[in-house]
A = this chain, B = another copy of it.
Amino acid sequence: MSTLQEGVTSQTLDELAINTIRTLAMDAVQKADSGHPGLPMGAAAMAYVLWTRFLKHNPRNPAWPNRDRFILSAGHGSMLLYSLLYLTGYDLPLEELTQFRQFGSKTPGHPEYGLTTGVETTTGPLGQGFGNGVGMAMAARHMAATFNRPGFNLMDHYIYAIVSDGDLMEGVASEAASLAGHLKLGNLIYFYDDNHISIEGSTSLTFTENRGMRFEAYNWHVQHVPGNDLEAMSQAIRAAQAETNRPSLIIARTHIGYGSPHKQDTAEAHGTPLGADEIRLTKEALGWPSDAPFFVPPQALEHYRQAIQQGETAEQAWLDLKAAYARQFPELAAEWQRRIDRELPQGWQADLPSFPPSEKGTPTRRASGKILNAIASRLPELFGGSADLAPSTNTLIDNATAFSPEDYAGRNVHFGVREHGMGAALNGMAVYGGLIPYGGTFLIFSDYMRPAIRLAALMELQVIYVFTHDSIGLGEDGPTHQPVEQLAALRAIPHLTVIRPADANETTIAWKVALGHQHGPVALVFSRQSLPVFDRSQMGAVGGLEQGGYILLEAPQSRPELIILSTGSEVELAVGAARQLQEEGVATRVVSMPSWELFNAQPEAYRHTVLPPSVKARLSVEAGVSQGWRQYVGDGGDCISLEHFGASAPYQKLYQAFGFTVDAIVTHARGLLQ
């Protein structure tokens, strides 16, 4: 096979080192009896060039803030990354590679952030890593613009990624790529593993677009390089680094399963072990010196391990720079450190607003906008925006500028109509550090970004979602825009905290919770329509929101015979119904239940105080599907819910038509008590 010979004319140290990755990948997949050998074998050479000649990193301190980031967006090729981490001296011993894909190992099927040192973000669902990188590059540009000073490039590095055909086909990557080009993120350098193979066969089956031209259209700098030509690859990386105004795509023609006499350039090499015989033949073809599995030539290891010394030297130089910076700009340096350490500033809560009682009230989305603006100056790490709905989601920081190529210090991000790209970018910002990213859109469009939300939850990242227009209360835009099942669908995601406040003051506490919640994303869910601001002198204290659910309106003598549980805009109706029922002599308690997750995390004693087991007559009221409410209302209770799609009309009409009125609740409650 002539392609086999590309760059492998004699067993040079380069080749030996590259083949070490290939053989480790083959062997680990074979031992696990599952996994993806093809990508590591095909992309080994370019990864080798990047990691040994360019990547600025310190294996002994993977948290060094000014390191280059490396993302394996095509996460199925995880053995490539694990091999590099082990070989360059991260805390990932060879034994872990032999435990590839086993329970409790540090080498899961796809790279997992937080589990394996050196893994910058969890990848696997295609396109996500691509979008994460864009978020990292945005964060890097913002941090540099905020903290760098002439002569002191405190933050100055690249974001690299290896992306695959699948990544480029996914819409989330298209969104992120367009945004990256617009933002002129020259610190982004992606390697496209152009191997012509996807799972169903040749990419000619379905992926024949001109990818280079497409990325040029996005304002990217595009280069074509043979995937195994080390010098050409080095040159391309240098050219990409030199291009500071455009993100770079290096299209590397690679060969999946490189070296395998029978499986190279076939879909078979993608996702199954090569088999013992083929591995033997491949090692022979590669001129590999041993047939022992997981054999690592000492000279190859030594070569890779230079990364340790180089990394420590590089970090030390940077530490010196930082020390000089701190002498010259002590306040700035302290602020930078605070943000990198993810510590909220002293007194950050001081400006959290409180809203006076008001019958007329305000939409919680608008209250949210006021809160955001009140706290923004004390919390410069708040960085975000909206997917082209800022005027509606109230996510703009008024006295801040837009984040743009002319002003990377700006904090207001215009994500465009790119919810999924926004979600993936937010994740990248969150892992990058120094920022608390937030992103807004209508609640209905949480569906568009759901895979990114799930990954934020899986990585337990501090990302704040501002989801407005949260029910049929959206009104005239109709059923395509009215969330009905989105609350249930978000609550179903593990590690995601959903909060749907009932009034402006609950909104303040919801923001407070979100800002303090560093391990896991929080979805703040707000109304389009005005909601009264409750008079707390007559009702439960708003701090109860921190417990997820609390007694908002108490029954006489705290002895309820009926409990109405509600969230968000429907709490107003629950309170109205309870007052009417109390006039009728029905001892009614209203529980505001903005967050199931926070409530379920409370001790049983607290939960039983709010929902005494003895009170069986319980009614939930929420303008969405009832799925999940039964856990609170029990067999003796019932749910007022919306089990069908909405309609286009003024929202008051919809509330009436669909049974969300004080009268309907009262009638339902009476029925429940009989």
- Given that A109-B478, A110-B477 are known contacts, is A207 also in contact with B178, CB under 8 Å in the complex? yes
Q: Is A653 an interface residue (CB 8 A)?
A: yes
Q: Report the stretch among A86-94, A208-216, A276-284, A548-556 that lies at the interface.
A: A208-216
Encode contact with B along A448-489: 1 for CB under 8 Å, 0 otherwise: 101100110110000000000000000111111100110011
Residues of B within 8 A of A123 (CB): 480
Is there contact, CB below 8 Å, between A198 and B649? Answer: no
Q: Is A319 an interface residue (CB 8 A)?
A: no
Is there contact, CB below 8 Å, between A480 and B492? Answer: no
Among B217, B455, B479, the residue within 8 A (CB) of A211 is B217
Is there contact, CB below 8 Å, between B458 and A416? Answer: no
- Given that A109-B478, A635-B634 are known contacts, is A219 also in contact with B213, CB under 8 Å in the complex? no
Is there contact, CB below 8 Å, between A416 and B481? Answer: no
Residues of B within 8 A of A635 (CB): 634-636
A423 to chain B, nearest CB (A): 11
Is there contact, CB below 8 Å, between A480 and B75? Answer: yes
- Given that A447-B451, A450-B447, A480-B458 are known contacts, is A388 also in contact with B630, CB under 8 Å in the complex? no
Is there contact, CB below 8 Å, between A649 and B102? Answer: yes
Q: How many identical chains are in the complex?
A: 2
Is there contact, CB below 8 Å, between B416 and A494? Answer: no
Q: Is A169 an interface residue (CB 8 A)?
A: yes
Is there contact, CB below 8 Å, between A485 and B493? Answer: yes
Is there contact, CB below 8 Å, between B209 and A417? Answer: no
Q: Is A303 an interface residue (CB 8 A)?
A: no
* CA of A390 to CA of B198, assembled, Å: 11
Residues of B within 8 A of A112 (CB): 478-480, 648
Residues of B within 8 A of A653 (CB): 102-103
Residues of B within 8 A of A450 (CB): 447-448, 450, 489
Q: Report the stretch among A510-518, A532-540, A639-647 that lies at the interface.
A: A639-647
Is there contact, CB below 8 Å, between B171 and A171? Answer: yes
Q: Is A625 an interface residue (CB 8 A)?
A: yes
Interface core residue of A75, A125, A444, A495 (most chain B CB under 10 Å) = A125
Is there contact, CB below 8 Å, between B218 and A214? Answer: yes
In chain A between 120 and 175, which residues have their CB closer than 8 angstroms to a CB of chain B? 122-127, 165-166, 169-175
* CA of A122 to CA of B218, assembled, Å: 30
Q: Is A661 an interface residue (CB 8 A)?
A: no
Find the B residue at minimum CB distance from A487.
B492
Q: Is A386 an interface residue (CB 8 A)?
A: yes
* CA of A631 to CA of B637, assembled, Å: 11
* CA of A645 to CA of B493, assembled, Å: 9
Q: Is A654 an interface residue (CB 8 A)?
A: yes
Residues of B within 8 A of A386 (CB): 200
- Given that A171-B175, A475-B34, A645-B458 are known contacts, is A205 also in contact with B402, CB under 8 Å in the complex? yes
Residues of B within 8 A of A199 (CB): 388-392
Encode contact with B along A174-187: 1 for CB under 8 Å, 0 otherwise: 11001101100000
Residues of B within 8 A of A345 (CB): none
Residues of B within 8 A of A124 (CB): 477-478, 480-481
Find the B residue at minimum CB distance from A415.
B206
Q: Is A491 an interface residue (CB 8 A)?
A: yes
A474 to chain B, nearest CB (A): 9
Residues of B within 8 A of A206 (CB): 179, 182, 388, 414-416
Interface core residue of A206, A628, A636, A653 (most chain B CB under 10 Å) = A206
What is the interface residue range for chain A against chain B?
35 or more
Residues of B within 8 A of A481 (CB): 109-110, 124-125
Q: Is A108 an interface residue (CB 8 A)?
A: yes
A133 to chain B, nearest CB (A): 16
* CA of A104 to CA of B650, assembled, Å: 11
Q: Is A445 an interface residue (CB 8 A)?
A: yes
* CA of A650 to CA of B445, assembled, Å: 35
Residues of B within 8 A of A447 (CB): 450-451, 454
Q: Is A421 an interface residue (CB 8 A)?
A: yes
Q: Is A234 an interface residue (CB 8 A)?
A: no
* CA of A643 to CA of B451, assembled, Å: 18
- Given that A478-B124, A485-B494 are known contacts, is A414 also in contact with B200, CB under 8 Å in the complex? yes
Q: Is A418 an interface residue (CB 8 A)?
A: yes
* CA of A472 to CA of B112, assembled, Å: 16
* CA of A388 to CA of B169, assembled, Å: 10
Is there contact, CB below 8 Å, between A627 and B491? Answer: yes
Residues of B within 8 A of A174 (CB): 171, 174-175
Find the B residue at minimum CB distance from A387.
B169
Is there contact, CB below 8 Å, between B494 and A492? Answer: no
- Given that A643-B494, A649-B102 are known contacts, is A416 also in contact with B110, CB under 8 Å in the complex? no
Q: Is A369 an interface residue (CB 8 A)?
A: no
* CA of A206 to CA of B417, assembled, Å: 9
Residues of B within 8 A of A217 (CB): 209-214, 216-217
Is there contact, CB below 8 Å, between B625 and A627? Answer: no
A662 to chain B, nearest CB (A): 20
Is there contact, CB below 8 Å, between B208 and A645? Answer: no
Q: Is A657 an interface residue (CB 8 A)?
A: yes
In chain A between 400 and 430, which residues have their CB closer than 8 angstroms to a CB of chain B? 402, 404, 414-418, 420-421
In chain A between 25 and 74, which residues have their CB closer than 8 angstroms to a CB of chain B? 32, 34-35
Q: List 23 A-B contacts (CB under 8 A).
A: A102-B649, A103-B647, A103-B657, A108-B478, A109-B480, A110-B477, A112-B478, A112-B479, A125-B481, A170-B171, A171-B175, A178-B209, A199-B389, A199-B392, A206-B388, A209-B218, A210-B217, A212-B217, A214-B214, A492-B492, A492-B625, A494-B643, A630-B631
Knowing that A124-B480, A125-B444, A200-B386 are A-B contacts, what are 12 other residue pairs whose CB atoms are under 8 Å apart, sorted by A's residue number? A112-B648, A125-B481, A171-B173, A178-B209, A205-B402, A211-B217, A267-B391, A445-B451, A458-B479, A485-B492, A485-B494, A630-B631
